[in-house]
């Protein structure tokens, strides 16, 4: 089936500590990075404007950032929405933009995501700690860190996943970040398995190199109706499939399983079906490696390998840049960084860049079909997109 | 043109100080109120779930409330989004649900909005004060109160609007609230013009009775594809038109005019055109009376009367329950209350209830076409919906 919706612009800002810009400057920079990948775009083209932001109320004392975006871009769209779905805000914003274009409400939309966190770590940490169920769980000490640590320990027990395999994910993603100048840890370069394994403990068994960092950064994409794509670029990338699913569980205690993510399997199934492809057809993927254990579980529940085999998948080098299915070529959340509102959009930007053949030192040869996976909470909410450079 | 999208359920909670319920209980109550107006609905019907919430991060220390809603409703939708567009979050959430259904992504969506503010007035006030431009304006003392006071003073100077006319809006809306048991100030009953005029000053010329209150409350609607409507109710209400527009201005200083709201005129024009009706065809309206001056300007920019005539419109009784175009029959933000995330949805609920002929003591005779208007910021963002009980 041909796709109705094209990505015609896609860019990210430098991720990391961005004390050189204000929040609004970072927002404008993200949009500019996307516009610079296009042949043209005019203010009146921006009929839809979607802003993905998780915690500006906490970290920069500013609400109504949808209106801020209209101001910074100098546009008067027909629909403006700020979306918050915690770490999956970005991909959810893209889903809403997709629907608005598909419905005929608008022709073209800018989707911009950002977060500015590093200048205010106390509020950034609060923002992260109030994503799970505050009344019943966070208040008793279940944070993202301890929650994913439980998943790691259980996955180790059930499937024999090892401490080394967790660290191999970090080593791979730092290696990719070393090839991505926009990545937060670009200048750190490659890290050794020893360094990754011996970092200080955060929540046993997860150490510092198993955890994604606090990051400032922005990302933006421009979506348009298929028949208008050539106006903006000669390299449109097509949204071929999408799937989204959620568990009726804000916290971890209502999850049917913490090592097999049923909502991810539902989202992936819908996306593969819509795109009419199978996991083996995917050439490159960006998955949600908020913790190393997450990437391992995602190999399994996205169908890249069989259940329980995720540890072996990284150990065998399958997901490396030179492997059979390179994952997180950007450096991933682990090493590119995780500015919450930007993350889901930055994943789409990386795959778009790969499918356009413009990923430089980290380019995957002959990448034609790519996948993104963005999650929130204790893997309670998932969005999967499948992109192609062929309509 | 026949409408593709029907409202098949619509309900609000009691508004006011709701110290009897937690945030999640209020959310569930809002959804239940909508479900109780339907013949049936099943968990698997809820393919879309949209949550309108402005400041739960500040007032109840909980983010990711889209996921919370899935938990409280016990549903696993294909799309879940939490929308924040300050005071216009509710109507914007409805726009996104409309697009998702129209696009074919989903058949049926629940849109629930809420805010819990009264238990934590310090954080609620912070939430309101960070809606305008914090870096350039709020920090210098421009709040919603002082900003709308500037608009009132300028409207008085330009058009001769009087202090009495501002208070007449409050008197009317409190009179309507006295007929609405769900309204925050229901039990206060009617108020005299003298009482409204002599209340203590908040931001000259706006006094306490010119300002909407801090409120706890929730509202929900269920939208579905037109051909599925009869499954859920024999009284579907149809979304005939919608328009949304924004100024590229977060604060007040970039507004082209503070007494003539161009973005509202654009949104209204689009909505009237889509519905193929004119202002004179509207039988009943809920407009965004965050301050009394706002309702007066809205009479004008929605085309209910000519520019500058808004004060006369209220003085002549045109917008009273027994007038030619009853406005804010629910009591409006002023007297029904203004729980930010619920407001735009509660407006749709009131018009739906009126068009179903179920508004009790405040029923407008033979109401067939209704309008809602929801704004945010210094009238920088507007959403207009036109509903009808005929497809």
Across B273-301, average pLDDT: 98
A306 Cα to chain B: minimum distance (Å) = 25
Residue in B99, B134, B273 to test binding to A, most A beta-carbons within 10 Å: B99
Contact list, B380 vs chain A (CB under 8 Å): 67
pLDDT at B169: 98
Contact list, B383 vs chain A (CB under 8 Å): none
Instruction: Give the confidence band of B234 by pLDDT, cuts at 50, 70, 90.
Output: very high
Instruction: Give the confidence band of A2 by pLDDT, cuts at 50, 70, 90.
Output: confident
Both tokens of A68, joined, read 């801020």
What is the set of domains in chain A, with CATH numbers?
5-122+215-237 (3.40.47.10), 139-212+239-388 (3.40.47.10)
pLDDT greater than 90 at residue B1: no
Instruction: Give the confidence band of B208 by pLDDT, cuts at 50, 70, 90.
Output: very high
Q: Does A233 touch chain B (CB under 8 A)?
A: no
pLDDT greater than 90 at residue A359: yes
Q: Nearest residue on chain B to A24, judged by CA atoms?
A: B135
Please count the residues of chain A. Answer: 391
Residue with tokens 């569930």: B28
- Got the DSSP string for B23-64? HHHHHHHHHHHHHTTSS---GGG--EEEEE-S-HHHHSS---
In order of A25, A304, A355, B295, the CA distances from A282 in angstroms are 36, 9, 11, 55
Q: What is the mean pLDDT of chain A?
A: 97
pLDDT greater than 90 at residue A1: no
350-379 of A, contacting B, C-beta below 8 A: 376-377
Tell me which of A174, A186, A288, A338 is the catalytic residue. Answer: A338
CB B127 within 8 A of CB B57: no
CA atoms within 13 A on the CB side of A225: 16
pLDDT greater than 90 at residue A310: yes
pLDDT greater than 80 at residue A27: yes
Q: Does B263 touch chain A (CB under 8 A)?
A: yes
ipTM of the complex: 0.98
Contact list, B46 vs chain A (CB under 8 Å): none
Across A131-159, average pLDDT: 95
pLDDT greater than 90 at residue B2: no
Nearest to B354 by CA among B114, B228, B171, B179: B179
pLDDT at B319: 98
CB B46 within 8 A of CB B70: no
Query: How far is residue A363's CA from residue A358's CA, in Å, rounded to a whole number?
Result: 7
Q: Give the angle A221-A272-A158 at the CA atoms, nearest 5°.
A: 105
Q: Is the pTM of this model over 0.90?
A: yes
Q: Does A104 touch chain B (CB under 8 A)?
A: yes
**pLDDT tens, position by position, A38-75:** 999 999 999 999 999 999 999 999 999 999 999 999 99
Across B226-245, average pLDDT: 98
268-327 of A, contacting B, C-beta below 8 A: 270
pLDDT greater than 80 at residue A80: yes
Q: What percent of chain A has pLDDT over 70?
A: 100
Q: Nearest residue on chain A to B378, judged by CA atoms?
A: A67
Concerning whether A87 is annotated as a catalytic residue, the answer is yes
């Amino acid at each position: 089936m041909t796709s109705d919706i094209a990505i015609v612009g896609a860019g990210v800002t430098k991720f990391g500590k961005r004390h050189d810009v204000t929040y609004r400057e970072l927002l404008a920079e993200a949009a500019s990075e996307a516009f610079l990948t296009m042949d043209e775009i005019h203010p009146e083209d921006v009929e839809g404007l979607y802003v993905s932001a998780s915690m500006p109320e906490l970290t920069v004392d500013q609400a109504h950032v949808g209106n801020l975006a209209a101001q910074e871009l100098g546009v008067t769209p027909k629909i403006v929405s700020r979306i918050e779905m915690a770490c999956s805000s970005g991909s959810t914003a893209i889903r809403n933009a997709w629907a608005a274009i598909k419905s005929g409400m608008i022709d073209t939309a800018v989707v911009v995501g950002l977060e500015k966190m590093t200048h205010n770590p106390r509020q950034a940490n609060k923002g992260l700690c109030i994503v799970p169920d505050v009344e019943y769980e966070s208040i008793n000490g279940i944070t993202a860190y301890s929650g994913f640590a439980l998943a790691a320990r259980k996955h180790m027990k059930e499937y024999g996943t090892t401490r080394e395999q967790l660290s191999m994910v970090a080593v791979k993603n730092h290696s990719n970040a070393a090839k991505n100048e926009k990545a937060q840890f670009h200048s750190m370069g490659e890290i050794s398995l020893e360094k990754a394994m011996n970092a200080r403990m955060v929540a046993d068994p997860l150490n510092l190199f198993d955890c994604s960092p606090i990051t400032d950064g922005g990302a933006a994409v421009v979506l348009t109706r298929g028949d208008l794509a050539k106006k903006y670029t000669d390299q449109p990338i097509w949204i071929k499939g999408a799937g989204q699913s959620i568990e009726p569980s804000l916290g971890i205690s209502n999850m049917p399983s913490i090592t097999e993510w049923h909502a991810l399997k539902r989202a992936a199934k819908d996306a593969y079906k819509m795109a009419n492809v199978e996991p083996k057809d995917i050439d490159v993927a960006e998955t949600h490696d908020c913790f190393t254990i997450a990437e391992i579980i995602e190999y399994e529940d996205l169908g890249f390998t069989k259940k329980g085999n995720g540890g072996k998948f990284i150990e065998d080098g399958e997901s490396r840049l030179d492997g059979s299915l390179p994952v997180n070529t950007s450096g991933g959340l682990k090493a590119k960084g995780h500015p919450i509102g930007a993350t889901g959009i930055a994943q789409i930007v990386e795959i778009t860049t790969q499918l356009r053949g413009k990923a430089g030192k980290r380019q995957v040869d002959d990448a034609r079909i790519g996948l993104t996976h963005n999650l929130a909470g204790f893997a309670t909410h998932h969005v999967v997109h499948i992109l192609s450079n062929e309509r």
